[in-house]
Amino acid sequence: MVPYRSILIVGGGTAGWMAAAYLQRVLGSNPELPVQIRLVEAPEIGSIGVGEATVPTLQATLQAMGIPESALFTQADATLKNGIRFVGWKHGGSAASDRYDHPFDPPVTLAGHSTMVHWMNLHQRGLSTKAFDEAGGVQTALYEKNLSPKFLNSPDYQAPITYAYHLDAIKLATLLRTVATSRGVQHSQGEVTEVEVGEAGIQAVRLKDGQRLTADLYIDCTGFASLLIGKALDVPWVSYADSLLCDRAVACPIAHPDAQQPLRSYTTATARGAGWTWEIDLQTRTGTGYVYSSAHCSDDEALATLRQLHGSAVPMAEPRLLKMRIGHRARMWEKNCLALGLAGGFIEPLESTGIYLIERALQSFLDYLPATPSATQGRSKFNALMGDLYDELRDFILLHYIISGRRDTPFWRDYTEEVAVPPSLQELLDLWNEKLPHNTDIQRKQSLFASGNYFYILAGLNRLPSQGIGPARYLPPAVSQEALAHIAKIRAAAVQQSPTMREYTQKMRAL
C-alpha cells in the first residue's frame, strides 16, 4: 500500500521543479508501483526569478537527483561560493575598514581544541591581532584572490573544502524541468483559478480553460500567492515582521565590464541605511539587489541606492521591485497539501536559505511519508520540525543585525535598540556572554547553522565573551600559537594550489 499514487504540483518556480525532479527520482522510478507526477504552472504569472546564492546542502540534493555537476556550469551560469563577505555591518565603514567573512568550512580542532578556543586564547592576551575569520580557518584565504574551493581535477560534488553555488535561478528551474520531464513528470500550462476544498483537504484544482485536475497529494509551489495552503486551506500565517524588518527588495543584474572579469568566489552583503545590498558574480553577469525595510526607505530611495552601487556598470534589465512576506505557515503540511518554497514561508535572503528550505522540506516530507493518507503523526512531526527550523533561521539572521555597532540611521537604531529579540536568541546571547559557543548550546530539532557559524558572526561584530572563556584560560599560549601557525601554512598552500574561479568555470564549460 502506498499513500499517494498521484501528485499534483502547482507552480513552476525553483520550488515546483525541484519537487518534481526530486520526487520523480525517489517515488516515481519503480515501474511496478507507478506514481504519476504532474506540474501545472501559469507562464503568464511567472516565477520570482531571484535566488542566486545557495548553501552547501544543494550538492547532495542535486546528486540525489542524478544531475551531473557540470550541468550547473553549462546550463545555469554557475560559479562556486566559499561563503559570504559582510561589509559595513560593524559601524557603517568601507570594505577596507569594516568587513568580516562567514565562510562555509567550520572551525577545525587542533591539539584538542577548536580554533575558536585557540584564537580567543591569543586574542584575550593581546597576542594576536588577526581577525578570527583570517586566523581561525583556511577558506577565507580563497576569497582574496577569487579562488575556487575546488581543484581543476576535483570529482563531481567533491572538494577539499565545503562549498556551495551561485547560479541563475531561472536557468536552474529550466534545468530541473528538463530533468523532471525527461523522466516522466507531466507538464501542464494553465492558471489555477479555483481550488475545491473538502473534508480531506484539496479535492481538485480548476484551470482558467475549464480543466479540472485531481490528485492524491497537492504540492503548493505558487510562491507568495500561496494559493492552496494559504488561500484555499486558510492555514494561519506566523509572521516574523516584528523581528525581521526588511520586507522589500529591488533586484537588477549588471554586465561584467569585460568577459575575463575576475569572478568573486563569495557573496558580498553590504549594510546600507535601511537594509543591505547583495552582489553575486555569475559567469556572465553580476546579480545585485537591495533588501530593505519599507518602513525606513521608499522604493525610490532603494532604487537610488542600487543605482549608486552599480556606478558605471551597465544594467542588463529593468530593476524589479519585490514585496517579501517574512514568516511561515503555521503548518506547511495540511491534510493532503504540502507547501514548498515561498508558498510555505520565507526568511530574508541574507544567509541564502530559501532554496535550502525547499530541500529540507522535501527530505523531511519523504522521511515522514505516511503509511496512509489519513495518518497524522508524521505530519505533525514534520510541521514541528519545519516550524523550529524557521525559528532557527530567524534567530540566526537577526543576530547579524542586533549585535551590529551601527546607530547611524533609524533602521539601525530600531534593529539594535527596539526590535523584539526572541527568548531563544536572547538565551544564546546571554550564554555566549560567558563562554564560547558550542554545538550543544543550540538546542534545535535540526540545525543548518552550528556553533562555528554563530562564532564567525559574533567575532566579526566583536561580540565576544566578556568574562573568562573556559578552557582557553588554562591553555599555554604557545599551544595556540602553534595551532594557528598550522592554519596559516594550510592557507598559504591552498592559495598556491587553487585555480581562480574563472579558470574553474572555463574548465567546467569545456567538459
Does 15 engage in binding with ligand FAD (CB under 6 A)?
Answer: yes
**Taking each helix axis from N to C terminus, what angle separates 14-27 and 169-182, rounded to the nearest 10 degrees?**
30
128: number of Cβ within 10 Å? 21
The DSSP code sequence of 338-349 is EE-GGGTEE--G
Closer CB to ligand FAD, residue 352 or residue 364? 352
Distances, alpha carbon 310 to alpha carbons 199, 213, 247, 255, in Å: 53, 46, 22, 10
Residue from the set 7, 9, 13, 195 that interacts with ligand FAD by CB under 6 A: 13
Number of residues located near ligand FAD, criterion CB under 6 A: 39
Q: How far is the CB of 78 from ligand FAD (least distance, A)?
A: 13
Helix, strand counts (H, E) of the chain: 15, 23
User: Is the Cβ of residue 80 or residue 141 nearer to ligand FAD in the bound state?
Assistant: 80
Pick 108 or 322: Cβ nearer ligand FAD? 322
- Tell me the β-bridge partners of 281: 286
Q: Pick the stretch among 7-15, 80-88, 405-413, 487-495 that binds ligand FAD (CB under 6 A).
A: 7-15
Put the strands of the sheet holding 237-239 in their side by side order.
237-239, 327-329, 345-346
- Which range, of 174-182, 309-317, 342-350, 394-402, touches ligand FAD by CB under 6 A? 342-350
Q: Which residue of 192, 235, 385, 469 would you call a contact of ligand FAD, by CB under 6 A?
A: 192
Q: Minimum CB separation from ligand FAD for residue 350, in Å? A: 9
Strand partners, 251: 289, 320
Q: Please list, residue by residue across 469-505, b when 16 or more beta carbons sit within 10 angstroms of its beta carbon and e when fewer do.
A: bbebeebeeebbeebbeebeeebeebeeebbbbbebb
Cell numbers at residue 171, please?
536557468
Compute the distance between CA of residue 24 and CA of residue 185 in angstroms, rounded to an integer.
Answer: 7
Q: Is 447 exposed, middle or buried (0-12, 13-18, 19+ CB in 10 A)?
A: middle
336 φ, ψ (degrees, to nearest 5): -100, 30
Using CB under 6 A, pick the residue from 349, 387, 460, 465 that binds ligand FAD.
349
Q: List, in sequence order, every residue forming a beta bridge with 328; answer none if it has no partner.
A: 238, 345
Q: Which is nearer to ligand FAD, 151 or 237 (CB)?
A: 237
In degrees, to the nearest 5, what angle opens at C-alpha 415 toward C-alphas 410 and 419? 115
Ordered alpha helix ranges (H), 113-168: 115-124, 132-135, 140-144
Residues 145 to 184 in contact with ligand FAD, rule: CB under 6 A: 169
Q: How far is the CB of 340 from ligand FAD (least distance, A)?
A: 7
Return the range that interacts with ligand FAD (CB under 6 A); candidates 116-124, 299-307, 346-354, 386-394. Answer: 346-354
**Cα 300–chain centre separation:** 27
Over the window 354 to 373, marking each residue x when it contacts ligand FAD by CB under 6 A and - when it does not, the resulting string is xx------------------
The binding track of 207-246 with respect to ligand FAD, each residue x by CB under 6 A or -, is --------------xxx-x-x-------------------
Of the pair 52, 395, the CB lying nearest ligand FAD is at 52
Q: For the CB of residue 2, give the shortest distance to ligand FAD in the complex, in Å.
A: 26
Provide φ and ψ at 206, rounded to 5°.
-115, 135
Interface with ligand FAD, residue 395, by CB under 6 A: no
Copy the grid coordinates of residue 245. 524588518
In whole angstroms, how close is the CB of 303 to ligand FAD at the nearest point? 14
Q: What is the DSSP letter of 111?
A: T
- Under DSSP, the state recorded for 311 is T
Site for ligand FAD in 21-80 (CB under 6 A): 40-42, 45-48, 50-54
256-295 footprint of ligand FAD as x/- string (CB under 6 A) = ---------------------------------x------
* The binder of ligand FAD chosen from 7, 8, 9, 12 (CB under 6 A): 12
Could you say whether residue 107 binds ligand FAD (CB under 6 A)? no
Can you give the binding site for ligand FAD, defined by CB under 6 A?
Answer: 10-16, 40-42, 45-48, 50-54, 169, 191-192, 221-223, 225, 227, 249, 251, 289, 322, 324, 341-343, 349, 352, 354-355
